[in-house]
Structure 1
Amino acid sequence: METEHKAVVLGCNYYIGLSIIRCLGQEGIPVTGVHYQEEGAYAFKSKYLTEKLIAPHHEKEAEQFKDFLIDYAKKQTHKPVLYPTADPFVLLIDTYFEELTQYYLINQTKPGFWSDIIDKDKLYLLAEQHKVLTPKSFSTQDADLIEKVETELGYPCIIKPFDSSTFVATFRRKLFKINNREELLEKLKAVKEKNIEVAVQQLIQGFDDHMYTFDAYLNQEAKVTHWVTAQKQRQYPINFGASVYIKQKYVPELVEIGKPFLEAIGYKGFAEIEFKKDEKTGKYYLIEINARTTNFNQMLAEVGFNMPLLAYKELTGQPIGQKVLKDTTDYGFHYMYEDLHASKAYIQSKQLSAKQIMKTYTEKRVGAIWNSKDPKPGFAYIGIILNKVKKKVIG
């Protein structure tokens, strides 16, 4: 396999970046990790990392960060392949798309496309055009908003941001669950004060195991070449968070909805559509699309879908073939640290019992961080956790 192009991974303080580094480094690809500081960047410790770079902050100093990336690429003999690990990096690439694509290999070819996918309002309009079900939503600009919510949505409903990263950074949660008019007015006031655009949305009923994903790779002709489906088991924060325990499960309905939709909108590269199955009707509703590597990327790789490698090979002119998974392996992904917090919340809210949770610890799965062949990031992460505990104890 040709490996002259470097892979540049943006963000090394989270296990998504670590997983990309491992997926590529194990194949002999030179991997460069980029982060704004060494502290907390435990992915820097991976033996599969060839080079680490300390860059300006990607949000606080976006222009300088972009220039840093371009200066680095200019020194290379071959265009590097660029990997964003979180939405802020995706949005930054979109912002400076024309400049960055001169120096980097990137799956997407249309500026602004990723930003429109991340924007829930634009995504839902796009889904509606292609007859894909989405939760019913109302803009905060709608006349008679309160009346519409109470007559057409009812309680509970949710307040969901168009820009998830800004909302999470501000409120430390992905959304607000609303149980009555008082809460609706209170939270609408809070987001208005922070100047964050949101929608009031229908809450699709069902426990966290009613959340599913369609994970696919689309080539430069916007055709799905690889796909696999999965079912969430536990999330953190519970009910409205990211997967902390998820298992691969074949769900043909997700393919029937997700594949033609992604192809129709001209998507390229890796995409993950999150769906929720309504417990009453059995219908699947599109919730969001992750336009960057998923948090359970390592599990996908373990069942034969090394998505970062597919991107690298295709963008450097190498064949990628086709592959789908029409079987259920029940192979899981487990982020134990956050799952401990989630498990406590599930038990306290009586949504799950301790017995139900402990039973899953015997199931076959891969962890988020620990890897016996690459242990240093795991030890570094343990050190970070111990320091947090120490600071809390000392006060």
Structure 2
Amino acid sequence: MHVPDGFINAPVSAVTGVVAAGAIAVSLKGARRELDEKTAPLAGLVAAFIFAVQMLNFPVAAGTSGHLLGGALAAILVGPYTGVLCVSVVLLMQGILFADGGLTALGVNITDMAIVTTVVAYAVFRGLVKVLPRGRRSITAAAFVSALLSVPAAAVAFTLIYALGGTTDVSIDKVATAMVGVHILIGIGEAAITALTVGAVIAVRPDLVYGARGLTQQLKLRVNGELVDAPEAAPVPVPVAARTPHRKVWITGLVASLVLAGFVSFYASASPDGLEKVAEDKGISAAAEEHAAADSPLADYGVKDVSNARLSGGLAGVIGVGVTVVAGTGVFWAVRRRRTTDVSPSQVA
């Protein structure tokens, strides 16, 4: 759903840029409360994983493909504020290095793919968690539904943005019908990827899943025939040996991201994604402008001057994962460090 330059006029692109900048500023502040010694390194990995999986377009209908947006996955794993930053980092890397998503449309893409998907997904997720029985299966089910709904929500958001600033004379009703219809199908793939990933992390380290925090049930004791809350046990220091699985999860996730981007991506569907297909069918694509980074050495997810398509795409994917994990981890550690320096000595005591 990466919007290229030319689809949306300059005034609306500028407004969405302001909205995106404001949301990122709010998210930087909110992420200070979400990030800790566990989620700070995990957040950079989540950004890299989203980058890798977005390279894996899957077929959804005749001549159309879809890919992960990632807002729901990021919000559930590391928190909604940090999730907005994760997807924003991915979109920034894609726009600057790979000429994917216009630079003048960066505000549109962040608003649509980072803000809308994350906010909608996490709102639905929290609502479902409150009414479903507490447990890992409920978290996975809530992740599936929230991811499913976040994709057509993003399609609706794009349609509204296009209604305000579209540069071609195409009926909004036709755009809305086509966008929502195909993105409901794409949402099923998004939901499956999100649920599988969240379920896999919960199975290994449920304490690393932000959306699963606070779900442990309070123990009850029967005293004089009445049930009362059991007193909370004193926290027990976790030995270093017990913390090593955290490192293993990070390494496993990074290796999986590198394999997906460097090898599996070669077998991804070559069909245009939902927005590209709708733009072609409705005549919107005629307004697309050449990307400012079209001459980038990594443009179109290939390494310039490498003739072998498999090697070129694989190298580009590996480079993208590496750059994204470094950039993301740097941002999140800086936010985490800022949080630490903001804590007063009395609060530490």
One fold, TM greater than 0.5? Answer: no
Query: Which structure is higher in helix share?
Result: 2
Which structure's residues are more often strand, by fraction? Answer: 1
Q: 1 or 2 for the larger relative contact order (CA 8 Å, sep ≥6)?
A: 2
Provide the TM-score with structure 2 as the length reference: 0.32
